[in-house]
C-alpha cells in the first residue's frame, strides 16, 4: 500500500470513529437530543409540605398533616433491583414516634369499616424485612374502603412495580386529597379522603417523563389510564409543589401534561 492510500485510509477511519462517538456518547446525545435529560439521582425530589412536618424514614419520606391525622404525601424511590416476591409475616401497626404531634392510633380504625390503606405499599418494600416492616407505621396509612384498597388501588400499585422494573427506577409520591369537612373515623377524627393520587416520575430514562393518577375513593373496574390527570391538577387540589427542585423548564413540561402515551400499560 502506498503512502497516499494509507493516509486516506487513516482519515476515513478517524471520521468513522468520530461519527460513532457523536452518535453514541453523552456529548453527541446532548447535541442531537436536547430534550433528553437524565436527572441527577442525588437531587432531593421530595415535594413541598403544607404543614412543615416532614419526616425522613430510612425507606421513605412523608409530610404529616395533624388536622387530618395522616400524611398528605409519602414519597420514595423504587428501583428494579428492589422488586421482590419475598413473603414476610405482617407485623402489627405502630405509632410513628417521629411525629411530634403524634400519629393517629390504630384503634381509630377498629370497627370503622375501613382498611388501613398503605401509602407506601409493603409490596414495594419486600427487599428486606426491615424495609417491609417499616411500612407498618400509622403515619403511612389512610382509611380506605376494602373494595378500593384490594381493587383499583391494588391494580395501580402492581402497575407501579411493573414500571419500576421496566424503566429501572422511578420516584413515587402518594396521598389522599385532604380538604375540610371530610368524613372522619375514630376518636381522633381521622379523615377519610374522597380521592387518592399517585404521581410517578421516571428519573433514569434518557427522556424524563411523569404520570399522575387521581382515583375516586370507591370500587372501580375502569382501566387505569382513565384516571390519568396532570400534576398541575393535583397541585391545585393539594396546594403542594411536587417537583420544585427541578429546573422550571422541565418541571413545567412534566406537570402540564396528562398524556400517558409514553407509559406502557401492558
Q: State the SS3 of 28-45.
A: HHHHHCCCCCCCCCCCCC
148 inside domain: yes
Give a yes or no: residue 264 inside a domain: no
The alpha carbon of residue 226 and the mean position of all alpha carbons in its chain are separated, in whole angstroms, by 18
Residues 7 and 99 in one domain: no
In a domain, 266, yes or no: no
The answer as to whether 181 is a domain residue is yes
Query: Do both 237 and 182 map to the same domain?
Result: yes
64 part of a folded domain: yes
165 pLDDT above the threshold of 70: yes
CB 235 within 8 A of CB 242: yes
pLDDT band at 26 (very low <50, low <70, confident <90, very high): very low
Where in the sequence is the domain holding 12, given as residue range(s)? 1-34
Domain co-membership, 23 together with 77: no
| pLDDT tier at 207, thresholds 50, 70, 90 | confident
Strand, helix or coil for residue 77:
strand
What's the rounded mean pLDDT across residues 71-87?
A: 95
Within 10 Å of residue 15's Cβ, how many Cβ atoms? 10
Question: How many domains are contained in the chain?
Answer: 2
Mean of the per-residue pLDDT values for the chain? 86
What's the pTM? Answer: 0.84
Residues 75 and 13 both lie in one domain: no
Residues 73 and 146 in one domain: yes
Residue 263 counted as domain residue: no
CB 259, CB 224: distance < 8 Å: no
Q: What's the pLDDT at 15?
A: 45
Percent of the chain with pLDDT over 70: 83
**Same domain membership, residue 112 and residue 55:** yes
Name the grid cell of 56.
425522613
Q: Does residue 201 carry a pLDDT above 60?
A: yes
Could you tell me if 115 and 209 lie in one domain? Answer: yes
Among the ranges given (26-30, 108-112, 138-142, 218-222), the one the predictor scored with the smallest mean pLDDT: 26-30
The verdict on residue 210 lying in a domain is: yes
> Quick one: 96 and 190 in the same domain?
yes
215 and 150 within one domain = yes
In this model, does residue 35 exceed pLDDT 80? no
Q: Does residue 168 sit in the same domain as residue 63?
A: yes
Domain CATH code at residue 137: 3.40.570.10
Instruction: Please indicate, yes or no, whether residues 187 and 61 belong to a single structural domain of this protein.
Output: yes
On whether residue 261 sits in a domain, the answer given is no
Residues 156 and 177 in one domain: yes
Amino acid at each position: 500500500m502506498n503512502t497516499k492510500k494509507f493516509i486516506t485510509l487513516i482519515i476515513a477511519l478517524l471520521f468513522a470513529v468520530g461519527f460513532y462517538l457523536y452518535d453514541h456518547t453523552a456529548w453527541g446525545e446532548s447535541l442531537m437530543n436536547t430534550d433528553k435529560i437524565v436527572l441527577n439521582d442525588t437531587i432531593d425530589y421530595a415535594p413541598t409540605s403544607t404543614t412543615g412536618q416532614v419526616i425522613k424514614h430510612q425507606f421513605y419520606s412523608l409530610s404529616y398533616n395533624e388536622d387530618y391525622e395522616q400524611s398528605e404525601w409519602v414519597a420514595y424511590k423504587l428501583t428494579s433491583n428492589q422488586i421482590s416476591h419475598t413473603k414476610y409475616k405482617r407485623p402489627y401497626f405502630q405509632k410513628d414516634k417521629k411525629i411530634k404531634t403524634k400519629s393517629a392510633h390504630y384503634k381509630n380504625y377498629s370497627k370503622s369499616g375501613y382498611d388501613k390503606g398503605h401509602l407506601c405499599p409493603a409490596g414495594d418494600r419486600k427487599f428486606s424485612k426491615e424495609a417491609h416492616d417499616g411500612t407498618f407505621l400509622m403515619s403511612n396509612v389512610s382509611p380506605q374502603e376494602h373494595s378500593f384498597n384490594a381493587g383499583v388501588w391494588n391494580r395501580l400499585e402492581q402497575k407501579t412495580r411493573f414500571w419500576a422494573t421496566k424503566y429501572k427506577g422511578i420516584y413515587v409520591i402518594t396521598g389522599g386529597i385532604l380538604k375540610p369537612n371530610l368524613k372522619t373515623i375514630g376518636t381522633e377524627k381521622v379523615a377519610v379522603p374522597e380521592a387518592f393520587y399517585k404521581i410517578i416520575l421516571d428519573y433514569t430514562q434518557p427522556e424524563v417523563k411523569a404520570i399522575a393518577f387521581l382515583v375516586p375513593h370507591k370500587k372501580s373496574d375502569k382501566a387505569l389510564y382513565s384516571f390519568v390527570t396532570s400534576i398541575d391538577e393535583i397541585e391545585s387540589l393539594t396546594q403542594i409543589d411536587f417537583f420544585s427542585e427541578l429546573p422550571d423548564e422541565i418541571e413545567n413540561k412534566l406537570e402540564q401534561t396528562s398524556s400517558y402515551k409514553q407509559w406502557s400499560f401492558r
